[in-house]
């Protein structure tokens, strides 16, 4: 069972979300400002947060910034249509997604499920636990710095390329279909995703492989998908 924290100063919104989430099998905790949210996260095991932006005492922006100092919990912002600047700021400081009010509860549930899938597959850990470096052969991926080096040389990756590499390096030897890669990295249904994934993996290979046509690291498993070869 996943524990979800609903943080909004509008108690009617909290109650409505509680009904939909609990009916779908989630356990919920409630907070009505950012300070209460921080306290609950320290006391309970929380797997995802639905966070309002505008709240008294401590707003969602400041609460998210504080949480990101030590937590990697998925955070979905609840924003008004007029808060476009806050959406951008929230995503920049570490929010994973946002839903615009008034929202469709079915959309909220879909986004919750999508973020939880990504969180559990890519790994949800405290920042101090993820400060280590993943290594395979000459590739080194630094969680905290979000940087990648190959044979000691820095490599500039797009966010999508980085997340694909992170997924594969965290699961060496495991084969992921193009659909699984798309859903976990893009957080969207995988219909028609095969070419999109293939293009990004080709670009990634061009940056990390000595000979992209004969890759050492990212291998294709014909008919199944891709894997990170253990080197």
| Residue-level pLDDT, tens digit, the chain, 231 residues | 899 999 999 999 999 999 999 999 999 999 999 999 999 999 999 999 999 988 999 999 999 888 887 787 889 999 886 666 766 777 777 787 888 888 888 889 998 998 888 776 655 544 444 447 899 999 999 877 788 999 999 998 887 889 899 999 988 999 999 988 988 888 777 776 678 889 999 999 999 999 999 999 999 999 899 999 988
Mapped onto helix, strand or coil, the DSSP state of residue 133 is: strand
Structural contact between residues 146 and 166, judged by C-beta atoms closer than 8 angstroms = no
- Which pair of structure tokens corresponds to residue 87? 């959406």
Rounded to 10 deg, the angle between the 159-170 and 178-186 helix axes is: 120
Measure the CA–CA gap between 132 and 89, rounded to whole angstroms.
Answer: 27
DSSP β-ladder status, 75-80 and 48-52: parallel
Range 90-126 burial, b when 16+ CB lie within 10 A, else e:
beeeebbbbbbeebeeeebbebbebbbebbebbebee
- Which pair of structure tokens corresponds to residue 184? 């976990």
Q: Do 71 and 155 sit in the same domain of this protein?
A: no
Q: Do 104 and 138 sit in the same domain of this protein?
A: no
Q: Do 167 and 94 sit in the same domain of this protein?
A: no
Query: Domain residues for 11?
Result: 3-122
**Quick one: pLDDT at residue 129?**
44
**Quick one: pLDDT at residue 81?**
65
**Quick one: pLDDT at residue 133?**
85
Measure the CA–CA gap between 208 and 158, rounded to whole angstroms.
Answer: 13
Q: Among all chains, which residue has been given the structure tokens 């390329």?
A: 161
Q: Do 169 and 146 sit in the same domain of this protein?
A: yes
Which among 122, 154, 178 is the end of a domain?
122
Its pTM surpasses 0.75: no
Which among 102, 122, 142 is the end of a domain?
122
Q: Do 36 and 93 sit in the same domain of this protein?
A: yes
Q: Do 107 and 143 sit in the same domain of this protein?
A: no
Paired residues of 97 in beta bridges = 76
- Dihedral, 45, 51, 55, 57 alpha carbons, nearest 10: 30
């Amino acid at each position: 069972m996943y524990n979800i924290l609903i943080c909004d100063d509008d108690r009617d919104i909290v109650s409505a979300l509680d009904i939909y989430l609990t009916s779908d099998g989630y356990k919920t905790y409630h907070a009505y400002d950012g300070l209460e949210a921080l306290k609950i996260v320290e006391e309970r095991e929380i797997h995802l947060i639905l966070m309002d932006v505008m709240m008294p005492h401590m707003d969602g922006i400041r609460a998210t910034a504080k949480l990101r100092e030590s937590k990697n919990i998925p955070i979905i912002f609840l924003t008004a249509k007029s808060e476009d600047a806050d959406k951008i700021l929230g995503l920049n400081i570490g929010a994973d997604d946002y839903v615009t009010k008034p929202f469709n509860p079915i959309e909220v549930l879909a986004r919750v499920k999508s973020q939880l899938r990504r969180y559990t597959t890519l790994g949800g850990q405290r920042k101090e636990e993820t400060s280590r470096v993943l290594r395979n052969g000459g590739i080194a991926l630094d969680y905290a710095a979000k940087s990648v080096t190959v044979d000691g040389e820095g490599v500039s990756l797009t966010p999508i390329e980085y997340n694909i590499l992170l997924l594969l390096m965290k699961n060496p030897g495991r084969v992921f279909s193009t659909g699984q890669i798309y859903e976990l990295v893009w957080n969207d249904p995988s219909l028609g995703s095969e070419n999109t994934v293939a293009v990004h993996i080709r670009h990634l290979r061009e940056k990390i492989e000595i000979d992209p046509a004969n890759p050492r690291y990212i291998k294709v498993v014909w008919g199944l998908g891709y894997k990170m070869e253990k080197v």
